[in-house]
Amino acid sequence: MKKFTKFMSLLLAGTMLLGAAGCGSSDTSAEGEGTTAQTDETASTVKTSQEGKLIWATNAAFEPYEYMEGDTVVGIDAEIADAIAAKLGLEAQVENMEFDAIIPAVTSGKADIGLAGMTVSEERLMNVNFSDTYVEAGQAIIVKEGSDIKSAADLNGKVVGVQRGTTGDEYVSDEANGVGVASVERFSNGPDAAQSLLTDKIDAVVIDNEPAKKLVENSEGLVKLDENLTSEQYAIAVAKDNTELLDAINGALSEMKENGELQAILDKYLNA
Ligand code: GLN
């Protein structure tokens, strides 16, 4: 009997210790098993279009954010998609499409999220929600070596190439920005625009700064100007009616910001 009591009190002490540890590791949990219960809850209550999957829509011609390596989509956003999916207990699956098809894919439920170096804008916010931002970016100008275009002011009267439906397209097309281009040529992706520039069909390309650096690296004869034309934030697009998924993504993103995971992904591709 004495032995039994001792055993019981040890057991009780152990349970209390576990309980205390559980409380300490999560400020929202009221009980010992709160931490575990919470994680399970996140994985099971998030609804996606296909059970167990997180389908991300992108345009994989936007190095270093998303691009093809053989048959695989790689890059910053690909790694972010994998990391978020893992935290949500889901498997990431990519859908590669035209950039201007991404938001329609998200609103129609064909994809769960749009993850494509996508800038938060008022216009897009009318159709989708955006997660917290994960990158600061801006538009840059690419020209051929020896071009007389040295700044945004010199785009005046020129034929400028952009990727269709992007903020670069918006910037050069909007007369309010005072760019005054002769015409805007819209391409499916940056590499196509760069090719057109190399063959003198257009005078300049306006595209996001990091992809601009990669395009210049990948094709001889092009240079990127230092000037940043805009200040933009990238975020993940989520359907307006799926706020649970939005919250879960924001939770995963903030964890990745805090533990350095996000920075490690960015460093891998941006400071290479
Ligand atoms: N950041 C730009 C936009 O959101 C371009 C994105 C892209 O081409 N993938 O419009």
pLDDT tens per residue, range 190-203: 999 999 999 999 99
First-last CA distance in the chain = 69
Least confident of 25-39, 42-56, 92-106, 117-131: 25-39
pLDDT tens digits, 31-84: 333 344 444 444 446 999 999 999 999 999 999 999 999 999 999 999 999 999
Atom number of ligand 1 nearest to Cα 167: 10
Atom number of ligand 1 nearest to Cα 121: 4
For a pocket test of ligand 1, which of 166, 173, 174, 215 has the largest count of ligand atoms closer than 8 A to its C-beta?
A: 166
What is the pTM for the complete model shown? 0.84
Confidence of residue 257 (pLDDT cuts 50, 70, 90): very high
pLDDT tens digits, 210-245: 999 999 999 999 999 999 999 999 999 999 999 999
| Per-residue model confidence (pLDDT) at position 35 | 40
Which residue ranges have their beta carbon within 6 Å of ligand 1?
A: 59, 62, 99, 116-119, 163, 166-167, 208
User: What is the mean pLDDT of the segment spanning 120-128?
Assistant: 97
Atom number of ligand 1 nearest to Cα 119: 4
By three-state DSSP, how is residue 50 classified? coil
User: What is the mean pLDDT of the segment spanning 24-37?
Assistant: 39
Atom number of ligand 1 nearest to Cα 190: 8
Q: Does the pLDDT at position 26 exceed 90?
A: no
- Report d(CA 156, CA 208) in Å as an integer: 20
Q: What is the DSSP string of the chain?
A: -HHHHHHHHHHHHHHHHHHHHHHHH-TT-SSTTHHHHHHHHHHHH---SSTTEEEEEE-SEETTTEEEETTEEESHHHHHHHHHHHHTT-EEEEEE--GGGHHHHHHHTSSSEE-SSPBP-HHHHTTEEE-S--EEE-EEEEEETT-S--SGGGGTT-EEEEETTSHHHHHHH-GGG----SEEEEESSHHHHHHHHHTTSSSEEEEEHHHHHHHHHHSTTEEE-S-----EEE--EEETT-HHHHHHHHHHHHHHHHTSHHHHHHHHHH--
Confidence of residue 204 (pLDDT cuts 50, 70, 90): very high
Confidence of residue 272 (pLDDT cuts 50, 70, 90): low
Which residue, judged by its Cα, is nearest atom 8 of ligand 1? 166
Ligand 1 center from residue 98 Cα (angstroms): 11
pLDDT tens digits, 137-154: 999 999 999 999 999 999
Ligand 1 center from residue 166 Cα (angstroms): 5
Ligand 1 center from residue 118 Cα (angstroms): 5
| Per-residue model confidence (pLDDT) at position 23 | 39
